Structure 1
Amino acid sequence: MKLLKTLLLLGILLIGSNSQAMLVTKHAFEIPHFKTENGAVISPVKVGWEAYGSLNADKSNVILVTHFFSGSSHAAGKYHESDVAPGYWDAIIGPGKAIDTNTYYVISVDTLVNANVFDPNVITTGPATINPATGKQYGLTFPVVTIGDFIEVQKALLDSLGIGKLHAVIGGSMGSFQAIEWATRYPERVARLIPVIGSAYIDAWAAVRLERWAYPIKQDPAWRGGDYYQYGQPEHGLTTALAYIIQDAVYPTGFNMRYPAPETDKAPHRDILASFSAWEQLMAHAKLRATMQDANHILYLVRASQLYRAGMGDNWQHALSKVQAKTLFLPASGDQLLLPEMAKASAEALRAAGKTVEYAEIPGIWGHLDGVVGINAVAENIRSFLATE
């Protein structure tokens, strides 16, 4: 039952702490006119953000948390005491925890085109947003946005708060791309960098794997070329895409513990059209997630992730040479999505450029998701790294 609750809460096995959680507030930030890396202007851009701890007098104690593909800025605490679970990294963010809010001021920001656009606690601009110029949803007229664009929105927020330098930036999965891009693009502003279950690049293998997440949406007739808002979501395509996302994020050991084995099913032995129970259950879990998410937003997040390489230029290894931050890579040993080998290659590129790099792996049976559910295993690595001079 606990494992089922885990799936329902995050959609990808997020386990929340049952301890007394901080109460947090979601804030809104708006940029009247935002110019993307592609030269398009979005007017306005709105994102949500939340913070934990207190900002010190010289604003030198800020840690930026950048979130993963299906996540949001809700990294820790609860909005209400009655919330079922706290934010996804509540195990390491809070008073006395690895990211100690008695010491640090921790900020997290909803990304552009956030997947959870229908979650009332998420504020984001994307294809499902009404375009003021037309009075209709942007749909696919929304410009392609990149990890670099996510960074520029976050920078605008920090600038508005008078925060010029980050004690650290830490992020998991797609959040690791953002963290690395921060340290590459604005090296003088980032003192410490912690990419969790991440990489400084996406290669062809990873990009094609991510295309599997987009394909079911685009093949669903109900998607209508992205212009479906007056008709309703392309439910089958979106649900299938989310099922692939859930499976890709979980190592086989954990997956097989959660879902029934093929030999327990009778119907597939007799009927070629019969589905396995594991698939039906996976689709049921994905359908729950689909109620908060938008199909076009998934496509835009897939593309932003596919396009990522440090510096967003032709040579990500050279771009890493700009990094000034001390770096701690924390891949998950069983990750089948962003392989540990990708984190190792990224770390080696930094070392080759003469940078200070530490490396430790997160153990566990959940693979990529160990970067969320198993993060406490490396809590002391994070705590000690943040304290380094």
Structure 2
Amino acid sequence: MLVEKKTFTIEGFKTFNGSFLPQVQIGWESWGQLNTRKDNAILVTHYFSGSSHAAGRYQETDPLPGYWDSLIGPGKPLDTDQYFVFSCDTLVNQEPFNPYVVTTGPASINPETDKPWGLDFPVVTIADFVNTQKALMESLGIERLHAVMGPSMGSLQALHWAAAYPEAVERMVSVIGMGEADAWTCLGLQQWAEPILADPNWQQGDYYASEPPLQGVLQTLMQINQQALSPELINRTFFQHHPMEAGPLESIREDYRMVKRFREECQERAKLADANHLLYLIRANQLFLAGQGSSLKEGLQKIQAKCLFLPATHDQLLPPYLARQTHENLLALGKSSNYQEINGSWGHLDGLYTITSQGELIRDFLAEK
């Protein structure tokens, strides 16, 4: 499938914490056709380092399709002959310098100053990501989603949709997700922020006219990428690694070949990323609580949707207990919830690369009456 990036603009946007943005722009993509009743829409919400590019290619020559291409398309579990599937770039997207990403965030121009917002940009939450999506949904004339689903940070958005707009969501699928950021998860996310905060080029977020904190961004992305992978996958990828490699034995200045390769791979993504955007994304995840109320129970109590949780058994970033607790809380509240673990070797990324193992379960869940 070939797909195009479209832009949606909101004039005047009030954030969850009460701040005001004069204008917000987000990118979005879609697959399939909206039917005349406009009741066949499925919203796919993306993960931390992702975008709305969930399936298809922009050009036939693109080396890889969108991240859930195995799920979305004609005859696939999210069958585009049956469903209208759409997805949105989030606010403060990790890669504002990616030509295929449209996002408003700290690197955007503040119309009042004609300079980048920097840290004057308001703190945003998962609720704000959802509210931009809801504005797009309403502009398309869609009143109710057949389903909302997404992996990792996308699962947070999907769950918040079900809690914040219960009458607008029929089904919710949380893949490699959680119901709230507990203390362990909050602290883990903070470790991603620390390299940027420690980079002298960060300058309290005011670096757009000078040298950006690229070293901090690189270290942050290296941490994220390692934690998203399983030990098994890393050991299999770098199978030639040996602890007694000559270079590191002879000089503290010399890195392992494996470390050099991993760093080089992360450097390519760092070119498209922005330090402040990463910090705002991290904070949005730290602030997450389904429903953004006083307690998880309060948020889950509002849910009317049928729910499906698909954590990854070997996930060390968002371990299965986070999804299991949410599922069990829903059952205790008398809600409809199902739970199935993805058993693979990718770790957290099983939610992207091993998701086809759950394809028939997802297909059946979407077809339930």
The TM-score range, normalised by the shorter chain, is: over 0.9
Q: Answer yes or no: is 1:167 the counterpart of 2:140.
A: no
Q: Number of residue pairs matched?
A: 368
Alpha-carbon distance, 1:241 to partner:
0.4
The aligned residue for residue 242 of structure 1 is: 221
More displaced 10-residue stretch of structure 1: 314-323 or 171-180 = 314-323
Quick one: distance in 1 between partners of 2:341 and 2:185?
A: 20
Shift in Å at residue 32 of structure 1?
1.0
Aligned twin of 2:84? 105
1:337 to 317, 336, 349: 317
Query: Which secondary structure does the structure 2 equivalent of 1:284 belong to?
Result: helix
AA matched with 1:102:
D
SS at match of 1:59: coil
Using the alignment, how far apart are the partners of 1:312 and 1:361 within structure 2?
26
Please point out which of 347, 359, 366 is paired with 1:386.
366
Displacement of 1:373 in angstroms is: 1.1
The DSSP-based 3-state class of the residue aligned with 2:249 is: helix
Could you tell me which residue of structure 1 aligns to residue 103 of structure 2?
A: 124
Which segment is superposed worse, 337-346 or 267-276? 267-276
Mapped partners of 1:102, 1:57: distance in 2: 14
Matches within 5 A, 1:1-389: 22-259=1-238, 260-263=240-243, 265-389=245-369
Counterpart CA distance in 2 for 1:321 and 1:205 is 24
SS of 2:195's partner is: helix
C-alpha RMSD of the superposition = 1.0
SS in 1 for 2:58: coil
Q: Structure 1 residue 25: deviation in Å? A: 1.4
SS of equivalent residue, structure 1 residue 115: coil
Deviations 1:97-145 (A, max 9, x none): 0100000000100000001111111100000101111011001110000
1:77: how far off?
0.7
Aligned mates of 2:111, 2:305 — CA distance in 1: 40
SS in 2 for 1:151: helix
Q: Offset of 1:265 from its aligned partner?
A: 1.6
Cα deviation digits, residues 134-168 of structure 1 (max 9, x gap): 01100111000000000111111111111000000
Q: Which secondary structure does the structure 1 equivalent of 2:273 belong to? A: coil
Q: Tell me by how many angstroms 1:262 deviates.
A: 4.0
Q: What's the CA shift string for 1:289-331, capped at 9, x where partnerless?
A: 1111111100000000011011112211221011101111011
C-alpha separation in 2, matches of 1:203 and 1:274 = 38
TM-score relative to the length of structure 2: 0.98
Give the letter for the 1:161 counterpart.
L
CA distance in 2, matches of 1:364, 1:300: 31
| Matched residue type, 2:153 | M
Q: Counterpart of 1:11?
A: none
Please report how far the alpha carbon of residue 367 of structure 1 lies from its aligned counterpart in structure 2 after TM superposition. Answer: 0.4
The amino acid of 1:247's aligned partner reads Q
How far off is 1:264 after superposition? 5.2
Counterpart CA distance in 2 for 1:292 and 1:169 is 28
Give the direction of change, closer, same or farther, for the CA distance of 1:93–1:264 in structure 2 (3 Å limit).
farther
Shift of 1:268: 2.2
TM-aligned CA deviation for residue 359 of structure 1? 1.0
SS in 1 for 2:173: strand
Shift, 1:388, TM fit: 0.3
